[in-house]
Amino acid sequence: MRVLVIGAGALGGYYGACVVRAGGDVTFLVRAKRAEQLRRNGLQVVSPHGDFALQPKIIQASDLKEPYDVVLVGVKAYSLDDAMSQFAPAVGANTMVLPILNGLKHVDALTARFGAARVLGGLANVSAGLDGDGRVVQFMANQTIVFGEIKGPLSERALALEKLLKVPGINVRASEAIMQDMWEKFVQLSTLAGITCLMRASVGDILAVPNGEQSIFRLFAECCAVATASGFEPRAAFVEFDRKLFTTLDSPLKASMLRDIERGSMTEAEHILGDMANRARSLGIDTPLLDLARAHVAAYEVGRRRAAS
């Protein structure tokens, strides 16, 4: 399969590099500045599993003329509209569009643009970011991709894609219940982003203060209630996993949203916290801690925009 990875940031850069290292046919769609950086330094990955570097195939939007078999979309939510316009020529009749963005809102945008038949559901669990030199830095050992048909059972194309992505550095799973998986990730991320941004601290530091653990699980309960009312009650195994995740003493875990705040960048707050809160309102569910976290990051965004202007 010919794969087009949209961008070469934390998500696309990491997963795309792993497939290239295993011999896959991968091209990265990048902007001019990132293209020059990659030509100069290569695509470098710093990982707990071992560092590596490679010289990737890159392309810019003006040169994109033909369809690919797979388009892997891992951009930030606020960049999706622009990205869709750029990679549209790569989407043919049989192209699989695999988004691994955070949240859920992007699924509707992609299906409206390219048709439901082309769009898979997907999620990624990897803690990574770009450093000042443009290297992809994996902060923790997790490195999972889960995907599947939004409606219907596992398909031959999904199983073929699973085989393609089953390479060192990626734990891949084709799912028969991808919307359930995505909702559970949405709950986890809303909790993690909400509490670490609100407290401006890692999970370990939050656990070290009075009422820290209770605050985490109050927010977790609010998000679980929204998922349940939406028809996707979190499964027992997921709840147990997150209970351990959120009670690990001295954990350095923090949401990428908080990392964005720490470096003064734009966040995906409305795509994640805002969307979860809006769904709660429409369902008549009270989410006071989620609402406070949303307001906190929204106030940061107002200040950031004021400073920029």
Catalytic residues: 185
DSSP 17-39: HHHHHTT-EEEEE--HHHHHHHH
Cβ pair 29, 59 in contact under 8 A: yes
Cα 73 from Cα 89, distance rounded (Å):
14
Using CA atoms, how far residue 71 sits from 97, 118, 127, in Å, is 5, 10, 22
Backbone CA torsion sign across 17, 18, 21, 24: negative
* Crossing angle (nearest 10°) for helices 105-114 and 80-87: 30
Strand (E) or helix (H) holding 92: strand 91-99
